[in-house]
Every structure is written in structure tokens, then in C-alpha cells.
Structure 1
Amino acid sequence: MSIKLFVTDLDGTLLPKGQQVSQENIDAVQEAVKAGVTVTIATGRMYRAALPVALTLGVDVPIITYNGALIKSTSGEVFYESFLPKKVIADVVSFCQERGWYLQSCSHDELYLPAHTSEAEGYEAAQNIKGHVVGWDGLKAHNEAVCKLLSITSGAEETDARIREMRAYFGSEIAVVRSNANYVEIVNPGVSKAAGIQHLADKLGVKLDEVMAIGDANNDLPMLKAAGHSIAMGNAVPEVKAVCDAVTTTCEENGFAKAIYDYVLRG
């Protein structure tokens, strides 16, 4: 196979939770780049949280952030953006506030919090980002250039229950996805990592059958299905492993690097 674009998720794929990218993974990226492969990132993270990782890798192409809602180069050039409507933001904030659900927002690539709760502290630590505490009314007020809203739960069962309730209430107004066991992500309909890959492939003049994607979580499923070739991490959820062409080792075992050597450089 001939892979021209290799797209990776971040958390649980390229880097373990709260840790830096391993030297093994960096070396694998550099080997792929030398072989003429474009390596980029597709993540649910904020652009500002993904950018340091991209710079560490030496990635000089647009990176897909906010689960596909924003594609922006490391130099700051915007290739695609999809912002939630202000009315939808207000409705989702009210919906979550009434139910006592934690919710946070990203406006102009800044993090806004209703209160500095344990959920907020955990997110800040994991993403190496500091948020602004603005209260529930503040979440409604900071409603410009909002790529996504994020509700954080106590675990997978609660996450899935919230997703079902929000989909039943809002219907096609929003897209609601689970990015890990504790994260409920709210974006515009049509926004996904898969759509982000298509936008980027078109920009680079690459066909989808020349694209390989790698991931571990439910929000990676669209891009894994859309790419011509797909790899699941060893720590991936069962749904991801079921749709991928192959399974590599876990994130902690540098399964990302192994996938590049096994399926890109030797594929």
C-alpha cells in the first residue's frame, strides 16, 4: 500500500493521559516524513492544546482540532471552521444547568468554566490549559467562535445516558459524541474527524485510499471508517477494534510508532 497522509488521534493514541509524546513516537513520525508521508493530528482537543504536540512532532500541515470543527496550521492559517450558533449554545447551557451537569465552553480558543470544580481541574491538568471561571451566565455570554461544548461525567454509563438524553431533546440541532469514558462533546451537525480528514485530503490533493488513520476512542470511529486504511490502538474500545484493518500495541507501549513502522514504512 502507498500511504501519503497518516492521521493520528492524540490522547490514548499518540500520548498517554497527561504525558508528553515519547521519543519513540517522535522518531517514527520523523522517519515517516523522510519517506514522504504527511503526518498530522485529528483531535477533540482545543487548537491551543494540540499545537504544542504538533510542534514537537515537526508537523507543518494543518491540524484537525475540536473533533473537526477547526482545521488550522501551526503557523495560524485557518482552513476550515464551524462554530455553534448562539441560540444553540444558550439552549445547551440551560439544558445542562437545569440537570446539574457540568459543562464547559471554548470561545476564540479560550476555555470557559461555570465554576472551578473537580471536573474543571481534571480537564485543565490533562490538557495543560487554564480556564476562565465565568459562571453559567458567562457561558452563554461567551458565545462567539465556539467550536464545541463539553460535558464531563463520572464514567461511561453516565456519559452514554447523557448522550441519549441530549440526542432525544435536541435532535439534528447538534451532534453529540463520546470522546472518552467521561467526555460528552457537542458540535455542529456534520462536524467530525472524518469530515476533517476529507477537508484536509482535498487540500493536500490526496485520495482517501492513500490515507491511514489511527485511534482508540468512539469519536475516532468516523475518521477510521472514512480513511482508506485504519489502525486501532491496543487500548482502543471494542467498537474501534471491530472496524479497523489491524490492531497495534497500547499507547503506553508506543503502539503508534509500531503502527508507522509496521503499516506505513513496511506496508
Structure 2
Amino acid sequence: MGKYTGKMIISDLDGTLIPRGGVISQENRQAIEAFVAEGGRFAIATGRTPEASAGYVKDLPINAPSVFFNGAMLYDWENKQVLKTMPLTAGDEQQRWPAFARRCLQEFPEACLEVYTADNCHIITPAANDDPRLPHEYYRYAHTELAELTDTGKTPWLKFFACDQHAHLEKYVVLAAEMGVAALGNGFYSEDNYYEFVARGVSKGAMVAAIRQQLPGIKIIACGDYLNDNEMLVAADVGVAAAGAHADTKKIADHVGCAVEDHLLAWTINNII
């Protein structure tokens, strides 16, 4: 038993644990290690895949179920085991998503469109359209023809992602509503130029309930900075937003902490827990 036994921190990565384009600070790393050493549980919640997260959180003591694909996967980091997935393309409407993707390829020629499956990120647009951040990240990805991904029963989609100018993404959202797929999924901005769809009812926040099943009685403190973190901050016992978080995220948080560059996780452990 330690002073943090019975408590858990779950943190978003980009803009929360890690400054965008940066690395985990030594201050955050040391604070998390001390928290876990005293009985605390630590997890991450991100839109990234486990592989794309590993380069950032290497050697971090992640000892609680973590959330990937913005809520479509719950993953046991210690044992490298998928605990639960919630595919976007499940059920009778599964072919509606490839049809939507085909229209997006026609309507948004400048977009980078990505289909995420449990084992890979498939970019279905030309390499010239790639998100410029990809080469600097840790993603495993492949350029794949959409035709190779249309058997969604065999290869379920966990997430459909668009990177484009915000003004174009607004039209993308309208098209999704017109084609009826918006009602089949949970769509949200994860950054100003990123829009994502996961399955209906799926979010980082929805996976908090699954974590509570795995760790009954745990008190959860969640940290985030953007709209895709909002449900997680609400579902946790305590929600902490970074000082530079989206205005709506700060509004629903229980506490607004320091800037990510000033070591938000260390601040949370020292000031909230």
C-alpha cells in the first residue's frame, strides 16, 4: 500500500502529457514514476495506435488499461493485449462507410484520408496529400487502395480520419450527415484540421466505464486538452484541463492546470492528487 493506492491518472498525449511536436518532460516522467511507485495506476488515452504511442511513452510505467483510437480500443499495455475493440463498421450498415469514403475521395481531392484497422493505418489518398506530421511520428502506415478495405466484415474499421483545411472539414461533416453516416458514428474534431469518426457511443469517456470494470473502486483523474477529451474529463472523478486547452474543454473540467510546457502531469499530482 502506498499513498496513491486506489487512485488512477489517465492522460491524453498530444497537448497534455506531451507538448505538440515535443517529448515527455523529465519533470512529468519523474512525477509519474513516483506516483506509480506509491501505488498509483497510470494510463494514456489517445487517438493514436499503440505502436504510434510507443515511441513517446517508452519506459513510462503504464500499469492500467489504456485507450487508443479515441476510444475504439482498450489495451493492456503491460501484456501487449487488446482487451476490447468497438469497430466503426460493425452491424448491418457496415458498407455505408466505404461508400462515404469513396465520395470523400471525389469531393475532397486535397485531403489526407485514413482508415484505421487494428493492425495498421491505411492512407487511401495519394502520398502527396499525406499529413506533414506523419514522417516525424511513430506511426506504422501504408498507402492502400480503398478497394482493398471494403470487406469490412473481414477487416473491421476502427476509425475513419480526415486531415484537411478546417473549411473543407466543415463540408466533410455536412456530407457525412447527408449520406446518413454521421448518425451511425461519433464524429469530432481532434484538432482544428483533423476530423474523425469512431463508432456510435465510442469515445475516450465511454471507455472509462470499461476501465472501472477492470479496476473496481478506482478513483480516476483524467487530463486532456481538446474536444475529443471532453467526455473523458466528465466521466472521470476529477477532470483536469491544460491551461492551453480548447475553451470548451476548460469549461467542463473540474480544474484548469498549468500549460503543457510547464509539466501538467507533475502539476496535477502535486496540486490535485
TM-score, scaled relative to structure 2: 0.86
Q: Is the 8 A contact 1:159 1:181 kept in 2?
A: no
Query: Following superposition of structure 1 onto structure 2, how do residues 113-124 of structure 1 map, counting pairs within 5 Å?
Result: 113-117=123-127, 119-124=129-134
- Which of 35, 40, 43 is the matching residue for 1:37? 40
Q: Is the 8 A contact 2:149 2:155 kept in 1?
A: no
Identity of aligned residues (%): 24
| Count of paired positions | 261
Q: Is the 8 A contact 1:213 1:224 kept in 2?
A: yes
- Which of 107, 118, 121 is the matching residue for 2:117? 107
Query: Following superposition of structure 1 onto structure 2, how do residues 38-187 of structure 1 map, counting pairs within 5 Å?
Result: 38-74=41-77, 75-85=79-89, 86-100=94-108, 101-117=111-127, 119-140=129-150, 144-155=155-166, 157-169=167-179, 170-187=181-198
Report the 3-state secondary structure (helix = DSSP H, G, I; strand = E; otherwise coil) of the residue aligned with 1:185.
strand
Q: Is the 8 A contact 2:6 2:39 kept in 1?
A: no
Cross-structure match for 1:28: 31
- Which of 3, 7, 31 is the matching residue for 1:4? 7
Find the aligned partners of 2:129 and 2:208 in 1 and give their Cα distance: 30
Find the aligned partners of 2:71 and 2:115 in 1 and give their Cα distance: 16
Deviation of 1:213 after TM superposition, in Å, equals 0.6
- Which of 235, 244, 258 is the matching residue for 1:226? 235
Find the aligned partners of 1:138 and 1:11 in 2 and give their Cα distance: 31
Q: More helix per residue: 1 or 2? A: 1
Q: Which runs of 5 or more structure 2 residues have no equivalent in the other structure?
A: none
Letter in 2 for 1:105: V
Deviation of 1:235 after TM superposition, in Å, equals 1.1
Letter in 1 for 2:9: F
TM-score, scaled relative to structure 1: 0.88
Deviation of 1:148 after TM superposition, in Å, equals 0.5
Find the aligned partners of 1:222 and 1:28 in 2 and give their Cα distance: 25
CA pair 115-161 structure 1, distance change in 2 beyond 3 A: closer
Find the aligned partners of 1:58 and 1:26 in 2 and give their Cα distance: 9
Q: Is the 8 A contact 1:179 1:217 kept in 2?
A: yes
Letter in 1 for 2:117: S
The ranges of structure 1 where at least 4 consecutive aligned residues each deviate by more than 4 angstroms after the TM superposition are none
Q: Is the 8 A contact 2:159 2:196 kept in 1?
A: yes
CA pair 118-38 structure 1, distance change in 2 beyond 3 A: farther
Find the aligned partners of 1:14 and 1:214 in 2 and give their Cα distance: 8
Letter in 1 for 2:186: A
